[in-house]
Amino acid sequence: MDALTATLTWLDYAAVAVFGATGALAAARRKHDIVTFGFFAAVTGVGGGTLRDLLIGAPVFWVQKPAYILACLAAAMAVWVFGSGKGRMRVLLWLDALGLAAYCVVGAAKAASLGAPPFSAVVMGTLTACFGGVIRDVLAHEPSILLKREVYVTAALVGAGVFVILQMFEVAGFPAGLAGFAAALAIRSGAILKGWALPGFPGRGTPED
Amino acid sequence: MDALTATLTWLDYAAVAVFGATGALAAARRKHDIVTFGFFAAVTGVGGGTLRDLLIGAPVFWVQKPAYILACLAAAMAVWVFGSGKGRMRVLLWLDALGLAAYCVVGAAKAASLGAPPFSAVVMGTLTACFGGVIRDVLAHEPSILLKREVYVTAALVGAGVFVILQMFEVAGFPAGLAGFAAALAIRSGAILKGWALPGFPGRGTPED
Amino acid sequence: MDALTATLTWLDYAAVAVFGATGALAAARRKHDIVTFGFFAAVTGVGGGTLRDLLIGAPVFWVQKPAYILACLAAAMAVWVFGSGKGRMRVLLWLDALGLAAYCVVGAAKAASLGAPPFSAVVMGTLTACFGGVIRDVLAHEPSILLKREVYVTAALVGAGVFVILQMFEVAGFPAGLAGFAAALAIRSGAILKGWALPGFPGRGTPED
């Protein structure tokens, strides 16, 4: 359980920082100033976890631990200094994938540890992993990453599902979390590299029917 | 009070499922895959009630009762199977009207049962009834249904108002809820069928003045 | 402490009303009806403070005090009656500036009074001051005021920072709050009048690199 806690804490900081970096990268696209960089980094970085904590009725994790916000600001600063090279969107995609993989496990684990039923824990992991990016895109007034055709929600769903199911079979927290993280990352990587997509809705999809 | 509870539970599931279906229909417009269907259905279905519970400080209703999420997923599946015919937008409009009518009563009743003053209960019913659709539209990156000229918020306001006022006059929960539901549905139906609209702002409305 | 409480209450009502007015002005741009005016006014007016209360785990301030909603509705009514003249966008900008200046202090003070560390109190003041406008813009489906190049977040950050730092040096609540309010308003005024802006991100900012 101690290893699980340590892993969760580590994953939590990592996910917050990489999501924060994606927020700063979104700010970079519009050439915002350093304060707006920090704002986008903070909101994106802690947004998913904040939603998770509100939903499960836990104290919001960063309010008493400002280090999370500092991690976001450090990520924003790093983007400011190093973020002007080529391939920035590609970096954003991969950081977002890492954040997604970390958060689906962290979200599910925290929900389960507070007594949510397994199915709810999976839902919570999925929702909160996806909401970091959603909040960023809504704030930046861009089409949400949810609206891309590539597999995205599915990766979070599988990651959270693997973790929760392994936990139900009494697998310890650390390997279960690692397996969930790896599963989500593998699926999202396939989506980024190979354009993996599930079959879309087979019916008519035009707006005005 | 028992009848009220039963009615509320029934209305709650019904509203969650029909709002969920509207989320899936929004996903269908862009030909998303089945997982994204489920995600949109879940977020739209439970979004309004989640906001209500957060605002009144109640435990979020679906976390301990995954059946609500399953209802959303069933609605998503139904849309996937049956949703490709003509007239889908019309179906979405009507399902949204049903969800709106149910949620304005459910939201007001739950707020009142937790001690909110009558005026706050009306506001809560109105806000939460409208937010299901708002969250769906923001996620789908479409203009919010709030921005249409037809009567929408008004229907929820009247439905919640009828319910709360009847309750103040000691009408039992079931008939009061039914009256509120019917009032909201009637007004929204008029808006859909006849284009009912209140007079718009009479002043200048251009963006740049 | 009593003066602080009174100041906070006064600032809170004032911020809610002016933010509410900006919501109604956004509704006026699209010539919405009076109910939608009220809805936008209420959501915008209480949105920032609602987020603050959810984040710090306090009861949402307006649920037990409907007078806040009534203040928003009064603001909406005032906009309906007086809002059709020229220069409306300018009025919206200035009201938004007043709301921003008030909320950065109110948010930081309420967070600090509930035991948030100073750094978190500054973050909370900044976030909640900015979120009133963000929610309005998202609902109205307009580009967020965050995306403008002028100084906006910075003003809230400085205002909250001045207040929290003065409090750490044992300055009483009233002068500290006034100083924070004045600092935020001065900076935001400079942005509106003189186009003050921090240097933008120096790297490449095109979307597709």
B6-54 residue pLDDT tens? 766 777 788 899 889 988 988 888 788 888 889 899 999 998 889 999 9
Start-end of H helices in A30-152: 34-56, 67-82, 88-113, 118-139
Question: What is the model's pLDDT at position A166?
Answer: 95
Question: What is the model's pLDDT at position B174?
Answer: 84
User: What's the mean pLDDT in A60-83?
Assistant: 90
**DSSP-derived secondary structure letter, C83:** T
- From the CB of residue B126, how many other CB atoms can be counted at a distance below 10 Å? 29
d(CA A66, nearest CA chain C) in Å: 6
In a domain, A202, yes or no: no
In a domain, B208, yes or no: no
C196 or B50, greater pLDDT: B50
pLDDT confidence band for C120 (50 / 70 / 90): very high
In a domain, A203, yes or no: no
For residue B85, what are its two tokens?
């015919």
Q: What is the C-alpha to C-alpha distance for residues A97 and C166, in angstroms, rounded to an integer?
A: 42
d(CA C183, nearest CA chain B) in Å: 29
B122-161 residue pLDDT tens? 999 998 888 888 888 888 887 777 777 778 889 999 999 9
Q: Looking at the predicted structure, is the pLDDT value of residue B77 above 60? A: yes
Q: Could you tell me if B155 and B187 are in contact, meaning their C-beta atoms sit under 8 angstroms apart? A: yes
For residue C69, what are its two tokens?
């909603």
User: What's the mean pLDDT in B191-204?
Assistant: 81
Q: Looking at the predicted structure, is the pLDDT value of residue C48 above 70? A: yes
| A123/B54 CB distance under 8 A | no
C122-154 residue pLDDT tens? 999 998 888 888 888 888 887 777 777 778 889
What domain range is B123 assigned to?
2-194
Instruction: Give C-chain residues touching A38 at CB under 8 angstroms.
Output: 153
For residue B135, what are its two tokens?
């969250």
| B32/A138 CB distance under 8 A | no
User: What's the mean pLDDT in C9-32?
Assistant: 84
Q: C interface mutation test: which of A43, A54, A63 has the most C CBs within 10 A?
A: A63
Q: What is the C-alpha to C-alpha distance for residues C4 and C7, in angstroms, rounded to an integer?
A: 5
User: What's the mean pLDDT in C40-64?
Assistant: 90
User: What's the mean pLDDT in C101-120?
Assistant: 90
Question: What is the model's pLDDT at position C199?
Answer: 80
Q: Which of B156-160, C45-49, C163-167, C198-202 has the lowest mean pLDDT?
A: C198-202
Question: What is the model's pLDDT at position C85?
Answer: 64
Average pLDDT, chain B: 85
Interface size between A and C, measured as CB pairs under 8 A: 96
Q: Could you tell me if C179 and C163 are in contact, meaning their C-beta atoms sit under 8 angstroms apart? A: yes
In a domain, B111, yes or no: yes
In a domain, B201, yes or no: no
Q: Looking at the predicted structure, is the pLDDT value of residue B80 above 70? A: yes
Short-list C116, C113, C157, CA closest to C146: C157
Cα angle value C36/C37/C38 (rounded, 5°):
90
For residue B207, what are its two tokens?
């963006």
Q: A interface mutation test: which of B35, B54, B137 has the most A CBs within 10 A?
A: B35
Instruction: Give C-chain residues touching A64 at CB under 8 angstroms.
Output: 116-117, 120
Instruction: Give B-chain residues touching C73 at CB under 8 angstroms.
Output: none
The C-alpha torsion from B171 through B191 and B37 to B62, rounded to 10°, is: -20
Q: Which of B74-83, B114-123, B145-154, C199-208 has the lowest mean pLDDT?
A: C199-208
Q: Could you tell me if A36 and C127 are in contact, meaning their C-beta atoms sit under 8 angstroms apart? A: no
Question: What is the model's pLDDT at position C208?
Answer: 44
In a domain, B202, yes or no: no
Q: Looking at the predicted structure, is the pLDDT value of residue C31 above 90? A: no
In a domain, C80, yes or no: yes
In a domain, B133, yes or no: yes
Cβ-based interface (< 8 Å): residues of A facing C: 27-40, 42-43, 50, 54, 59-60, 62-64, 66, 69-70, 80, 83-89, 138-141
Start-end of H helices in chain C: 2-29, 34-56, 67-82, 88-113, 118-139, 153-168, 173-194
Q: Is the interface score ipTM higher than 0.90?
A: no
Q: Could you tell me if B47 and B135 are in contact, meaning their C-beta atoms sit under 8 angstroms apart? A: yes
State the total domains in chain B. Answer: 1
| C209/A140 CB distance under 8 A | no
Q: Looking at the predicted structure, is the pLDDT value of residue B4 above 80? A: no
Q: Could you tell me if B22 and B44 are in contact, meaning their C-beta atoms sit under 8 angstroms apart? A: yes
